Chain A
């Protein structure tokens, strides 16, 4: 009897086991099919850096013979021409160009066009091809200001552009490009010689431009007050003929009139200005277009053959319109300059909304870290464009907030940039995805007005900016006694000057207000937690925060004295009201707000800090807009003039890489004997946020069994081992519960984790690849253990058995994907796929209770006690009243009908 019982039990158990085995087999094959195709390396992985060379010359035609006045071999390199995304910056460098004179600090302004011999960089729709439909010409090149494409000369009718020997006959008439009829708004502005280059929008709309935009400009164009500057760049060449510039790419998302996208080809056009090649005789032209001999022709020759008012390298400032027009950047469109152009075809990545276009499926959401945006921008299309995968969407949200939502079960997955404050209350696995970091982005100019690409910052300097210990303005310094003896801003701080030589002085008239604060986010953020942990770990910074003066006598703002760190969001504690502002600014008069928090002006969205740092915008909310009006309000300072900038912002390394924002190096190590009051950086090691720096930091990661992840070891980073480690390093992870997800969700999130931690780790710029600024989880970087953990995490997510693999690998973890034996397609219905190899690798609720099977002792233990079972209640006779009533109604009605119709017998 007993034997029979046992065998029957065994029989009953064996069938589910067989089914599980089949599911495991099919599941693993499905996974392989899913993982394999995502984001193979393509040509875009190096970004398509291109170098081109042109021999540019300026050759006058004088009495029928060529007189070559200047010839140069200009070679231009563009750092990236493929997989371009909106607003990203690419680097354009050149050699062999004519040195620039009359240099203007802001190379994106229309006044920069007045430089002599600049290298003009433009984004133009079309390609340099023979096909007319797509060919580019000056009318498809973007400039923001119509003055950059319209010239007029009201009194002298033979300006240089009219005697351009390479211009066609129609282009050498007195009036070129002026709409007919002349728009009424232009009025009397149109007199004398005119040469307008209209802008033709992607839809064919012609924007005439003209003086004061009188003939209409594209909606994206506009003078002056726009926050982000135009991308048209008038680059400066140094005396050796070299120069470089960042160029911000605009796709259709930010410039619809230009309309560049992956279907509308565009080019980067580099025009080295050589000057107009003059032909004042104009022998081939009608008489009307020939300057009269002697008087007009001599004057025209004189104007056209000028070679520059400024000495090469000289700064602008000689007065209004003193530059020589014939060699200035204003004539970039003239045939003489245009023929020397180099054009680089650009190709664009799929726009951000491509996933919405390819499918209407509900996306799989992952909430969390903005520091991972650059990665998910490339991973997202890699997923949704793959028919075997699905659409996943990164919902940018504060990391601590996302973890809270995850712990309460409101969301199903979160991207984190740091460890949780305390252990999750539910079984949630934190699968590492990549290593990145926070960066102190900066826009900093040196004493020569040139932007610096490298600066050194200590935690104490960061603490000084965050704690509002710099007054920023002399008026504030004079009226705020606690800050009176402190340096007025970071540029004036001897600590900063000791570490960063050749900084601006008050002679540069730099903007001190933005230089007194660190622009950061207001929302809870792992980035802020990491920054404040770094500050907290530095003994000098900590002592200073606790009230000790620095070696130069600077003290902390008393409202922040002794502040407890780290914090998720920086508190705005200072309550000082600036009396001068209250009496002079109607906004402050009506609402006397504390001054220094408005200077710091933290923003809710970290992307805003990135934008501000990209374009050198100060977000300090102290400008009173519509002063005295009922709708008066405080707005930001806006763009700080290049050449006078000292702005610092807390951003992510990947954002800085994408938008080419210079990043500060951070203090990683101080030798024991380093001077307290120092005059240079000797004895101190500063590490830039490079892959090497982040990899060095990652080597020091130690698993934390309690938190279930690898917290950044700030103490170890300060030690000798962390000398070359970047202290702003962050471990990016995806947190997913291993209990309570439906099998379809579990399958998707497991696939997501598995794909991102394998094929998503190929560095590159293509879809599905890992963007620059992120360190792939590879054994080469010493991160093999983290990558392996992500694999076991994916298995745990798929199993949904409440099991969280141990981070130190000490306990047996469920082994990852088994080797496939045959190919199969993924189960689209998302059926239960249980990725286990051995029979008891994971507690499997389907076949046995967790307590009954020997399980590996997991991080989150499952202790089950025997409980009763739910009673089998059956409803009484009355429960089925509906069908009964329906039957009665039908039957009675029918019978009544029949009876009433029948003839009686």
Chain B
């Protein structure tokens, strides 16, 4: 186990934050003869901004041309697309469709197409209203036209972070969970990071703390940017709504409104959202009546039949927005400190490119990067996507291991074997959220009506944590 071990010898690099960016950086560094520790304040990887987003692999067609974000998203799109296929991370290349509902939006399509080309993406196609309807017959009245972005895809964000982390861990990267960094000191050329689990020392420090990146920046005596959490509320509709759309239905961004998207998910649901409200509190992930009402109003216009379907879940995620539009990746060479801030909602797509870029910066500034003789193996992730061969349908897997034929969560068809796998080994699930992200258990339409008690009892048995602790009764 690599969790929870504080060692005396300094690490070459400490990464603060085990979100999609921090884990991608750890994975990239693990390809070299470099010792790395990842410090995470919560109890799991991918447990902040990375767990609650729109789960889209972006082409980057609408980035600001020439920005760092534009180049990292374009590159990250290809890197993660290839990695997902290699690691068995659920990915569906559904394509995206921007739908124009009025003159202003219709007029904006041409400039969006030009913008896409400036971002190096030339596969967009302007469509007539009839062509849009042909592709998406369940759109509401009043479609004026559209812009097809065939490369836009949907991906499993949870498996992505976990795959990075598992690959890094298998190559010797240490993950310290429940280890919030409360102080950063420079002692004899080393960073000394105070955590609840003791001091951790490292030569280099990478700040990938997401919503808390400006706080960590402050601990390092910098004030490069301010994070204002931007809350996005989302609604997940029942799987029976999945056939209402074929692609990601995107709004046309205009001066007045950003609008919301309606997207399929790799788990076979339909996602509606997000709203965008600036909040003060980096833990303000509550949904609001007003937010959900706004989303329903939007859906009623875009895909009217959607609002008649059952809602499976509502949630809110926080994007780490700053006062800047672009990513804020800065090297403070004299201090052996790299700050990776302002990674907005495109961070999932860009993650591997950000990791490459940051690793390059560290190399430029003197971190010795010698490739490992044994390249870490790409992990083989559990098939969570509906387009993959799920375990409950996999006769060969059940033949090898009957636990894959024992369905525990009926709505999401999660088997006992998958729950067992998720709880065992490195970075095994230690709480209900972690188990949900690794298996989909309890994420379905009944939200635990049928399996809640069984899942908690199983998790308690497998993790050794009491049911009271797992349900927040022992705090």
State yes or no: do A and B come from one complex: no
